[in-house]
Amino acid sequence: MIPQSLEEIDKIWRVTLLDVLDKIRIPHLFEEVSAEIMRRGMIEGIRADWHLLSLEKRAEKWRDFTDMMLNIAYSYRPYCLRCGECCRKGSPTLYREDASLLRDKIISMEDVYTLRKGEMAYDPIRERIHPLKSEMIKIKEEEGTKR
């Protein structure tokens, strides 16, 4: 739902954020995430010139806002939901529970690589490069694909 007025922006963004947080299973962090959105000036940014924008431009601005909101929300989630979103955008990350895949030779050591803590890596959810907080084991992608 795209807000039609400044008053609707003020109401809808919080409902939208809570919906996002519910979907990624961290609704208890609403206050922290909403404070971060406010701290970054995102509400003022979307309100600026809203009444002057065409419906098409409002839709584009709202979509950009909700994408940024989603990225911020994901940054507060400290664990993998195994929803598949990151894996569809890049190769899967293996976890301790996946050790049997290597042990049972379902995948080989040649099929994986390690990213070390502190190494710069692309985050498909936030769509940016950042230093890793922990070591990761990833499945190699097929050349020229994201699989």
Per-residue model confidence (pLDDT) at position 63: 93
CA–centroid distance for 37 within its chain: 14
For 21-52, how does the pLDDT look when each residue is reduced to its tens digit (9 = 90+)? Answer: 998 889 999 999 999 999 999 999 999 999 99
Q: Residue ranges per domain, the chain? A: 6-75, 85-139
Element (H, E) at 72: helix 55-75
For 123-132, how does the pLDDT look when each residue is reduced to its tens digit (9 = 90+)? Answer: 776 677 878 8
Strand blocks (E) in the chain? 93-94, 112-115, 120-123, 128-131, 136-139
Cβ–Cβ < 8 Å for 123, 89: no
Q: What does pTM read for this prediction?
A: 0.60
Per-residue model confidence (pLDDT) at position 132: 83
Per-residue model confidence (pLDDT) at position 146: 52
Tell me the C-alpha distance between 122 and 129, whole Å: 4
Low-confidence ranges of the chain (pLDDT < 70): 78, 125-126, 144-147
Cβ–Cβ < 8 Å for 13, 43: yes
Element (H, E) at 6: helix 6-23
